[in-house]
Structure 1
Amino acid sequence: MAVLKVIEVLANSSKGWEDAAANAVAQASKSVKNIRSVYLNEQSATVKDGEITDYRVNVKITFEVN
């Protein structure tokens, strides 16, 4: 039986939401092992002069606890 844990991570990117989600997983994987999945919980963006300047995501990352 596997025990799974979920953490919530906030990340951003100037490229897009997909890149922001990838940044969240990359950063979390530096200290969390056995990541199983990522759930995109929320998306937002900052706008300056009518253009999106920063994409932000709130993700839930699931990993197996040893």
Structure 2
Amino acid sequence: MSERVYKKIRLVGVSRQSYEKAIQNAIEEAGKTLHGLSWFEVMEQRGAIVDGVAEFQVTIEIGFKIERANV
């Protein structure tokens, strides 16, 4: 079994459609700059009202594998 190291970061996804879409938005955005995304955990769900419209907000932690440089 190979040895691995992972890192977790905390993000807040936002959507006017649903909590699921807020999660998807956060994961898609993280995937633009992070590689090796492995899992996510929902830490908090909340809502806001912006200009009379409901907004879904989800705090997630995303885990990703730390890539080692080949030396």
TM-score of the pair, normalised by structure 1: 0.90
CA radius of gyration, larger in: 2
- Structure with more strand by fraction: 1
Q: 5+ residue gaps in structure 1?
A: none
**Identity level (%):** 23
- Alignment partner, residue 30 of structure 1: 32
Runs of 4+ in 1 over 2 A off after TM superposition: none
- Alignment partner, residue 62 of structure 2: 61
TM-score of the pair, normalised by structure 2: 0.84
- Alignment partner, residue 47 of structure 2: 45
RMSD (Å) for aligned C-alpha atoms: 1.7
Q: CA deviation at 1:47?
A: 3.4
Q: 5+ residue gaps in structure 2?
A: none
